[in-house]
């Protein structure tokens, strides 16, 4: 049957049975009920179809407890996370609580890029995965999911989740090195925040290895890749961090003359380090 004949039949049915529409039908919700009433009165078949479709959509959203915009009826967005994971992250209401939570995750030495959902299930993760959990926790509590990449030489990169309070920057990070973790929000610029990690950023030879920092990366750009919930490795995150512009902390001639860390500072920073 062609669309034209189908609509013609509905128009005829509307003329013959407009008085039979049940506007109190529980399947026709709120605004959709009024749209069906107007459509039936006007005998417009296309309007009737659209109104019924709208009612079905509202019913499905209501039964799922989620609005058409992806928010729960409480007005809080879930970002595709399970109710249990949302509760876990929403309970981390301050950056300090988030830091304590990711500190308690078992540090894993693996070539992985797990999403926050998978890290929450496995209860382990490395530097970048800890930063992703922190970014997810900040997001469900109303902050943008921001990351900064710290780049070293003869060393691994380090990823920091960013937050701002009163216009000042702070950081949340997971690391085996004691000094590469939390930063209170007292830094006016991202460069200041990055420099606060310099003395604590060294390799096992005692070389100071931090060289550059990236601009803030908003992970909202990767929502289409499901970075918060994917069961596959989210390599899109490190790829985006690497592609983001980085800025040197100091000239190369300064880097070439940097002294190695003294023994006392070295041992202090290794507190909590786990050999792999």
Residues 136 and 259 reside in one and the same domain? yes
Residues 183 and 108 reside in one and the same domain? yes
pLDDT for residue 38: 60
66 and 78 Cβ atoms separated by less than 8 Å: yes
CA-CA distance, 161 to 113, in Å (whole number)? 15
pLDDT in tens, 85-120: 999 999 999 999 999 999 999 999 999 999 999 999
Decide if 103 is inside a domain: yes
pLDDT for residue 64: 44
Decide if 85 is inside a domain: no
Number of domains in the chain: 2
Residues 136 and 34 reside in one and the same domain? no
Measured in whole angstroms, the distance separating CA 66 from the mean position of its chain's CA atoms is 19
Phi, psi of 264 (to 5 degrees): -65, -45
Residues 110 and 23 reside in one and the same domain? no
Q: Which of 25, 49, 64 is the last residue of a domain?
A: 64
Under the banding of pLDDT at 50, 70 and 90, the label for residue 69 is very low
Under 8 Å CB-to-CB from 117, ≥6 apart: which residues? 81, 82, 85, 228, 229, 230, 231
Decide if 257 is inside a domain: yes
CA-CA distance, 196 to 108, in Å (whole number)? 25
Decide if 199 is inside a domain: yes
Angle between helices 95-103 and 127-140 (to 10 degrees): 150
CA-CA distance, 127 to 118, in Å (whole number)? 15
Residues 40 and 97 reside in one and the same domain? no
Decide if 141 is inside a domain: yes
Under the banding of pLDDT at 50, 70 and 90, the label for residue 35 is low
Report how far apart, in Å, the C-alpha atoms of 254 and of each of 145, 206, 246, 257, 258 are: 34, 17, 18, 6, 7
Residues 101 and 227 reside in one and the same domain? yes
Lowest mean pLDDT among 37-46, 98-107, 201-210, 267-276: 37-46
CA atoms within 13 A on the CB side of 41: 7
Under the banding of pLDDT at 50, 70 and 90, the label for residue 41 is low
Give the chain's radius of gyration (CA, Å).
27
Residues 118 and 196 reside in one and the same domain? yes
Q: Is the pLDDT of residue 56 over 80?
A: no
Lowest mean pLDDT among 5-9, 197-201, 250-254, 258-262: 5-9
Decide if 274 is inside a domain: no
For residue 57, the enclosing domain spans: 3-64
Residues 124 and 38 reside in one and the same domain? no
pLDDT for residue 229: 98
Token pair, residue 36, equals 């069906």
Question: Smallest Cα–Cα separation from 211: which of 219, 201, 226?
Answer: 201
Residues 172 and 253 reside in one and the same domain? yes
Residues 57 and 111 reside in one and the same domain? no
Global confidence as pTM:
0.74
Decide if 84 is inside a domain: no
Decide if 217 is inside a domain: yes
| Pairing mode, strands 124-125 and 246-248 | unpaired
pLDDT for residue 272: 73
If one compares 193 and 35, the residue with the highest pLDDT of the two is 193
Residues 55 and 97 reside in one and the same domain? no
160 and 171 Cβ atoms separated by less than 8 Å: yes
pLDDT for residue 84: 97
Residues 105 and 43 reside in one and the same domain? no
């Amino acid at each position: 049957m062609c669309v034209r004949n189908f609509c013609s039949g509905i128009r005829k049915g509307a003329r013959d049975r407009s008085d039979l529409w049940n506007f109190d039908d529980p399947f026709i919700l709120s605004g959709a009920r009024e749209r069906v009433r107007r459509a039936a009165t006007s005998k417009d078949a296309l309007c009737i179809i659209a109104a019924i479709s709208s009612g079905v959509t509202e019913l499905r959203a209501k039964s799922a407890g989620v609005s058409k915009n992806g928010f729960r009826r409480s007005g809080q967005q879930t970002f595709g996370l399970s109710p249990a994971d949302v509760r876990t992250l929403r309970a981390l209401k301050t950056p300090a609580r988030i830091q304590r939570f990711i500190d308690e995750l078992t540090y894993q030495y693996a070539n992985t890029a797990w999403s926050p959902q998978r890290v929450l299930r496995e209860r382990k993760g490395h530097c970048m995965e800890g930063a992703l959990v922190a970014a997810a926790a900040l997001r469900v509590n109303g902050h943008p999911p921001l990351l900064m990449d710290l780049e070293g030489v003869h060393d691994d990169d380090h990823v920091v989740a960013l937050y701002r309070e009163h216009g000042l920057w702070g950081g949340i990070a997971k690391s085996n090195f004691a000094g590469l973790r939390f930063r209170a929000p007292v830094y006016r610029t991202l460069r200041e925040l990055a420099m606060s990690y310099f003395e604590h950023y060294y390799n096992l030879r005692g070389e100071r290895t931090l060289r550059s920092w990236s601009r803030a990366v908003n992970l909202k750009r990767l929502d289409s890749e499901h970075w918060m919930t994917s069961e596959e490795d989210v390599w899109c995150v490190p790829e985006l961090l690497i592609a983001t512009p980085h800025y040197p902390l100091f000239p190369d001639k300064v880097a070439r003359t940097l002294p190695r860390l003294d023994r006392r500072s070295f041992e202090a920073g290794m507190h909590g380090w786990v050999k792999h």
